[in-house]
Amino acid sequence: MPQILLSEGPDQGVRLLTLNRPEALNALNTALLEALSSELDTAEADPETRAVVITGSERAFAAGADINEMAARDLVGMLEDPRIKHWARIARFTKPLITAVNGFCLGGGCELAMHGDIMVAGTNARFGQPEINLGIMPGAGGTQRLVRAVGQSLAMQMVLTGEPISAQRALEAGLVSEICQPELTIERAVAIARTIASKGPIAVRLAREAVQRAEDMDLAAGLRFERHAFTILAATDDRREGLEAFRNKRKPRFSGR
């Protein structure tokens, strides 16, 4: 049986994970989410991995949760669904995560893409939360992360009508950071990931956490967190190296200490 998740790297600090269930448009079944969560464990533990890119195929990033699997679960089955712990694992990944989206990015697929700290999309991408057409609703962040990304009006329209939006619209709304030709999406996401991977990892980690906290904290608490994180960096070798390299007009060599 072909592997449902392909893993490459790390190359120049970047690990590339490719969802590979083409027969089901990368629908997220338990096996695929389990494989993804296990790869993230590996990436987390590996000091050579500084950033991860998750992608799918040119036709589909992922067309949602696996509907056949979902249909087999009743209320108790949903409560005990092992996929819940895999979603939680993806959400608590501590390294920069970039999602590279082409084609259908629907339901759980869109929710997975929104777990990316940065999302890059091909011009052929279609983003949607079509769960309402199945008599259900989003369950992995589609009502929460989408609102924070695009605002209430567009999020409400997508969740209640189930109608998808184009890559261009997603760009205008702030759901994705960039769009490019579909054949360049992965290359572009990897290039961004490599740029991040070349920076001081402690600074990256704290800066990422500070930006993430902007969504959960009020401004005063967020600013306090930022100031503490900024101050902590004064204890790192990488800060000394970064400042010295600038003053000596050379490239910094960050050690992660």
List the catalytic residues.
65, 108, 111, 131
C-alpha–C-alpha distance, residues 252 and 238, integer Å: 8
Write the CB contacts of 165 (distance below 8 Å, at least 6 apart in sequence).
Answer: 126, 127, 128, 154, 158, 173
Cα dihedral: 119, 84, 2, 18 (round 10): 10
Residue 13 makes contact with ligand HXC by CB under 6 A: no
C-alpha–C-alpha distance, residues 208 and 212, integer Å: 6
Give least dist CB 55 to ligand HXC, A: 17
Instruction: Name the H helices within the chain.
Output: 30-45, 67-71, 75-79, 83-91, 108-113, 145-150, 152-161, 167-173, 185-197, 201-213, 219-232, 237-247
Give least dist CB 241 to ligand HXC, A: 43
Of these, 5, 95, 101, 131, which contacts ligand HXC (CB under 6 A)? Answer: 131
Cβ distance to ligand HXC smaller for residue 106 or 154 = 106
Give least dist CB 59 to ligand HXC, A: 8
Of 184, 119, 188, 109, which Cα lies nearest the Cα of 148?
A: 119
Give least dist CB 187 to ligand HXC, A: 25
Quick note: the x/- pattern for ligand HXC over 29-58, rule CB under 6 A, is ------------------------------
Quick note: the x/- pattern for ligand HXC over 133-172, rule CB under 6 A, is -x----xx--------------------------------
Write the CB contacts of 250 (distance below 8 Å, at least 6 apart in sequence).
Answer: none
Residue 27 makes contact with ligand HXC by CB under 6 A: yes
Written as one letter, the residue type at 245 is A
* Residue recorded with tokens 């390299």: 245
Of these, 10, 13, 66, 99, which contacts ligand HXC (CB under 6 A)? Answer: 66
Restricting to residues 89-118, name those near ligand HXC by CB under 6 A.
Answer: 104, 106-108
Residues that bind ligand HXC (CB under 6 A): 24-25, 27, 63-68, 104, 106-108, 130-131, 134, 139-140
